[in-house]
Amino acid sequence: MELNGEERRATTYCVTGASGYIGSWLVKSLLERGYTVHATLRDLAKSQYLKSKWRGNERLRLFRADLQDEGSFDDAVKGCDGVFHVAASMEFDISPDHANLDSYVQNKVVDPAIKGVRNVLGSCLKSKSVKRVIFTSSISTLTAKDENERWRSIVDETCKTPIDHVLKTKASGWVYVLSKLVSEEEAFRYAKERGMDLVSAITTTVSGPFLTPSLPSSLQVLLSPISGACLFAILSAVNKRMGSIGLVHIEDICMAHLFLMEEPKAEGQYICCVDNIDMHELMLNHFSKEYLCKVHKVDDDLEERQSLMKPKISSKKLRDLGFEYKYGIDEIIYQTIDASINFRFPTLDHRLKQ
C-alpha cells in the first residue's frame, strides 16, 4: 500500500545509523519521496559530507544518538510514525587470544547488542507515536545447511543459524553473526512482550552505488576477490554457509524497507534477495571474464561445489506480499564496479563494457 503525496508529507520516519551505507541511502530515498525524516548519527560531523547528497533538507532533522547510551534515541523518535532501525555494530571478528574469551564475548558483543536494541525500542514505546519498527536483519542469521550439515535446496526465513553453532565454529565474521542473531532475537522478544509491531528485513549482501565518503564494507567484501583484502575470508565464509552469495541492490533494499513499513499485512521476517550467485561464478564469469579483473583463485571447496546444487535463497514471502525488485545481479555487479571505479578503488584492474 503506497501513500499518496499528501500522506507522505504528513509522515515522519526515523532512520538510525544514517551515516552508514544503507542508512544514508534510505534517508535520501525517503526525502526524495516527500517524507519528513529524523536521522540519527552517533557523530553528527559525519552528516557534513552527506548533507549535500540529501535533497529535501528542509524536511530533515539530525539527532546524535548512540545505541549504548540510555535514552539516546528519545528525541529522534518522538513524533515519528515509524522507525527504521538500521544501525548496528559492524565488528566482524575479535582476537581469539583473550584470556577469557567467553566472558569477553558476553560483555563486548552479546550484552551491547541486547542493550542497543532495547534502547531503540524503549524510545519507540515512550514516543506513543511509532506504529511500526523495521529492524534491519542479516542473511548471516540464516544458514543453507540443516542440522545434519546437509545442504537444503531452499533457504527461507525459518532456516536460522543456531547460536551454539556460531560459537563453536567461530567462522570468519562470527562476531557480527552473533551480534545480529542476538539483537534480532531480543527485538522480537521485546516487541512481543509489549505488543509492538516489529518487522524484520533480512538483508543479503547489499551493493551498487553509495553516498558514504568511504567504500562501504559490503562492497569491500564483495570486491575482495579483486582487491585481495583480508575481508575475502568473510565472503568465503558466507559462501560456505549459504552455498552462494545472495545479492540485493541498494535502491531495492531501501524500497523493501519502505514497503515493509507501509504494507499493513507485513509481519515477522522477510528475506530481501533478488538472486544468489556462486562465489566462483561471480569471480570467474563476472569479475574476470566480463570486467577483466584479476581475481584470487580459490579451490579449497572445489569438490563440494561440483556436487552442490546451489541452494536457492528465497525471497518468495516478500514477493508474494507484492514487492518487486528493480535490479538483477548483472546490473548490481556493473553498478558496483562502476561506483568503485568512480571512487578510484585502488586495486581495480577493470574494463567496463560499453
Ligand X SMILES: NC(=O)c1ccc[n+]([C@@H]2O[C@H](COP(=O)([O-])OP(=O)(O)OC[C@H]3O[C@@H](n4cnc5c(N)ncnc54)[C@H](OP(=O)(O)O)[C@@H]3O)[C@@H](O)[C@H]2O)c1
Quick one: which of 36, 203, 224, 315 contacts ligand X (CB under 6 A)? 203
Q: Which of 28, 78, 180, 312 is catalytic?
A: 180
Q: In the window 238-297, what residues touch ligand X (CB under 6 A)?
A: none
Binding region for ligand X (CB under 6 A) out of 56-64, 87-95, 159-167, 274-282: 87-95
* Shortest Å, Cβ 155 to ligand X: 14
Binding-residue total with ligand X (CB under 6 A):
26
Residue 216 lies near ligand X (rule: CB under 6 A): yes
Q: Which is nearer to ligand X, 2 or 91 (CB)?
A: 91
Residue 20 lies near ligand X (rule: CB under 6 A): yes
Residue ranges in 167-196 that form contacts with ligand X under rule CB under 6 A: 180
Mask of contacts with ligand X, 288-327, x by CB under 6 A?
----------------------------------------
- Which is closer to ligand X, CB of 245 or CB of 293? 245
Minimum distance, C-beta of residue 63 to ligand X, in the bound complex (Å) = 11
Q: What is the dihedral of CA 37, 80, 324, 335, to 10 degrees?
A: 30
Return the residue of 57, 68, 106, 107 that touches ligand X, per CB under 6 A: 68
142 binds ligand X (CB under 6 A): no
> Is 297 a known active-site residue?
no
Stretch that binds ligand X, among 48-56, 122-130, 216-224, 324-332 (CB under 6 A): 216-224
Catalytic machinery residues = 180
> Which residues lie near ligand X (CB under 6 A)?
17, 19-23, 42-43, 46, 66-68, 86-90, 136, 138, 180, 203, 205-206, 216-218
